[in-house]
Structure 1
Amino acid sequence: MAGFTDDDVIAWFDRLVGAVPSAGARRVEAPTSVMSFDGAAGLAQFARGMDVVSPDAAEFSARLALVPLVHVAMSARLQTPLTTSRTERWIAEESEGAIIFGAQNRGGVICRQGENAAVIAPGRSTLLLTDVPFVMEHPGVTEPVGLQVPLELLGVARDELVAVAALPLPDSPLTRATRTFVNHFVHEAVVDGTAGDVADVELAVLDLVRATVAQAVGRARRLEDRTLYVRSTVRDLIERRHRSPEFSVDSIARALHLSRRQLYRYFSPDEDGLADLIAERRIESARRLLLDHPHAPIGEVAASTGFANANTFRSQFVRRFGVTPTEYRREPNVAERSA
């Protein structure tokens, strides 16, 4: 495996700062501080703290520019296809957790952490936690950059970070500014040797990462709040309007100004469907009415609890309790077991 050439590395570093120089203006030397990893031996040494697998170890090639400060570290990579896995074994070897801001300058990556999984496209970014197992699949040649910060310096609840980990960050000016900062800082530190005052840089980095994380967590909170609102409103609408035969899932969607598809996104596939929730509430109202008014005709009970007709009521009642409404009135034991 010949690995990436100096020209490949020079072009990669030009892309870090969005430069596309002419052939005459291009740098003639690759940065000497960039680390090289080629072939099976390079693959074994490449990723610290993670398992690394390549589709073809003999053809593997990577270049790493690493800029450690005091508490913070920034990096840029040029690499052939690979999959990295952060496992419990590696997590157990480190005493402190950190958060990684990762961005894709070239090529996409499939990220999985906790219950989240997403494709991070070129130009997009994500967050990962080092104290929770994760997997990153790079299916092609990619150019990711990263920024790692200890969790204890962020002041954000860990469970809130887990909720947004491995998902694309909002494509906002703030997210793009963080990515641009990492690109330019790595470029200047490695190519020009100008990292600036470390203490000042770390303060600026921490402010930027805190703002980026707060943006992601705040968005998740708003989505969670919206979900709670929708679910609460749906149950309230069912409670108040289930006795109307015209009330349906479409009625709920109209009341919330949502499409049926949007409405169903607020409910887990494991839960009963909205139509089932409405039917269950109608059945419960009918059951109580049967017992409280033992002489009310079955048709009136059905009509007053939202059923379109007595036949629909009977079939749903039998499916729920195993007896007809009339039999239910006559069997107190069934009534007691089902109440």
Structure 2
Amino acid sequence: MVEPCTAWPSTKPYEIYDGIVLSSSTDEPLRSVQYSRRLSMMSSFCVLVSPVRIERANVAGDADERDRLIVSVSGFRGDSVVAQNGRENRYGSGDLAVVSTQAPFVHTTSAIRDAAGLVIPFTALGRFRYLAERPRREMGGRTPLARAAAGFVRRFAIDSAVAGARVSSDAELAVIDLLAAALAELTLDGRYSLQDDRLFNRQAASDLIARRYRDPSFTTDMIAEELHMSRRHVYRLFEDFGSSPAELIAEARVEAGRKMLDENPWMQIGDIATASGFRSLATFRNQFKTRYGVSPLEYRERIAGPVRERC
């Protein structure tokens, strides 16, 4: 677990990063609790903050050190407004807000926000750097890809900054690829031809399954809700994959149960069923036998010998 940084009530603006200044957007003092973590290519953060004004006025200095892409998503209701380059974009709950530090900006909120996101140096974007430099339409949540990217970024930031999950360089590159596709879809000059976004959405759905299948209440409907798309659309993502989302969730649970049978010969099978994400022992039994041809108890006896357990 990463320790949070708490900002005591502040009545004066203060700089948080390279010319970026925070101040209260109301008459009340500014309060915040923040988790942050520096990764190999980027930084992740999660912050709970009172109504705030975030401003960057000074853009002097080395461009390679100065230029960053700030990507954030809030789960709380209420709008925030980003003013930059003569444009104002408004973002609500679940929207992917993207701000470049290459130009001055003002980002204001009128309510408490729970922003989670990433700070990515332009240099880490590689060949996609120009996408961060180009003007773009408001991100919002108006496309399936933008919604999928928002859900992915928020979960990635929470897992890395708050939970302290291990993050590989390949995972960071995957994040950059997904954000590049989302940015390209809304780049105003149309230089980038966006490929089929089904792969990105399916990867986001698969990531959710891998992390949440142990939750007995986790279903395809929850994937749809997390990625801000319909249940039918989620199923369409897997039409050519060979297994439906529901089947993938069941397979992940059965496989987790099998591994626990291998590694914990004295663990009660009912407890294994619960730990694997099944609501009942009967469901675990039935799905296990469908996949492996034997019951969990028969499987255990084959690999470890008879165990005194009623199943």
TM superposition score category, shorter chain reference: 0.5 to 0.7
Q: How many residues align?
A: 188
- Given the alignment, which residue of 67, 76, 82 partners 2:46? 76
Contact conserved, 2:13 with 2:21, CA < 8 A, in 1?
A: no
Is 1:135 the counterpart of 2:106? The answer is yes
Q: CA deviation at 1:159?
A: 7.9
Deviations 1:19-65 (A, max 9, x none): xxxxxxxxxxxx66111112127963656531222146763210112
Which residue does the alignment assign to 1:126? Answer: 97
The 1:195/1:46 distance shift into structure 2, 3 A limit, reads: same
Q: CA deviation at 1:157?
A: 6.4
Contact conserved, 1:99 with 1:130, CA < 8 A, in 2?
A: yes
Is 1:163 the counterpart of 2:132? The answer is no
Is 1:117 the counterpart of 2:81? The answer is no
Q: Distance in 2 between matches of 1:131 and 1:157?
A: 12
Percent of aligned pairs with the same amino acid: 20
Q: CA deviation at 1:126?
A: 2.6
Which residue does the alignment assign to 1:296? Answer: none
Contact conserved, 1:103 with 1:179, CA < 8 A, in 2?
A: yes
The 1:102/1:156 distance shift into structure 2, 3 A limit, reads: same
The 1:126/1:190 distance shift into structure 2, 3 A limit, reads: closer
Q: Distance in 1 between matches of 2:4 and 2:12?
A: 14
Q: CA deviation at 1:105?
A: 1.9
> SS where residue 75 of structure 2 aligns?
strand
Q: CA deviation at 1:213?
A: 1.4
Q: Mapping of 1:307-326 within 5 angstroms?
A: none
Q: Distance in 2 between matches of 1:124 and 1:42?
A: 29
- Given the alignment, which residue of 154, 165, 172 partners 1:202? 172
Which amino acid in the other structure matches residue 131 of structure 1? Q
Gap runs ≥5 in structure 1:
1-30, 223-339
Q: CA deviation at 1:178?
A: 2.0
> SS where residue 103 of structure 1 aligns?
strand
Q: CA deviation at 1:170?
A: 5.1
> SS where residue 10 of structure 2 aligns?
helix
> SS where residue 190 of structure 2 aligns?
helix
RMSD, matched Cα: 2.9
Deviations 1:259-292 (A, max 9, x none): xxxxxxxxxxxxxxxxxxxxxxxxxxxxxxxxxx
Which residue does the alignment assign to 2:73? Answer: 103
- Given the alignment, which residue of 169, 173, 193 partners 2:144? 173
Which residue does the alignment assign to 2:154? Answer: 183
Q: Distance in 1 between matches of 2:2 and 2:45?
A: 15
Structure that is richer in helix per residue: 1
Is 1:215 the counterpart of 2:199? The answer is no
Contact conserved, 1:102 with 1:145, CA < 8 A, in 2?
A: yes
Please list every run of at least 4 consecutive aligned residues from structure 1 whose deviation after the TM superposition is greater than 6 angstroms.
none
Q: Mapping of 1:1-339 within 5 angstroms?
A: 33-40=3-10, 44=14, 46=16, 49-55=19-25, 59-87=29-57, 89-92=58-61, 95-96=64-65, 97-106=67-76, 107-152=78-123, 153-156=125-128, 158=130, 161-164=133-136, 167-169=138-140, 171-196=142-167, 198-217=168-187, 221=190
Which amino acid in the other structure matches residue 164 of structure 1? R
Deviations 1:229-250 (A, max 9, x none): xxxxxxxxxxxxxxxxxxxxxx
TM-score, normalised with respect to structure 1: 0.49
Structure number with bigger Rg: 1
Which amino acid in the other structure matches residue 155 of structure 1? R
Contact conserved, 2:41 with 2:169, CA < 8 A, in 1?
A: no
The 1:35/1:102 distance shift into structure 2, 3 A limit, reads: same
Q: CA deviation at 1:109?
A: 0.7
Q: CA deviation at 1:78?
A: 0.8
Contact conserved, 1:65 with 1:186, CA < 8 A, in 2?
A: no
Q: Distance in 2 between matches of 1:163 and 1:91?
A: 21
TM-score, normalised with respect to structure 2: 0.53
Q: Distance in 2 between matches of 1:131 and 1:51?
A: 15
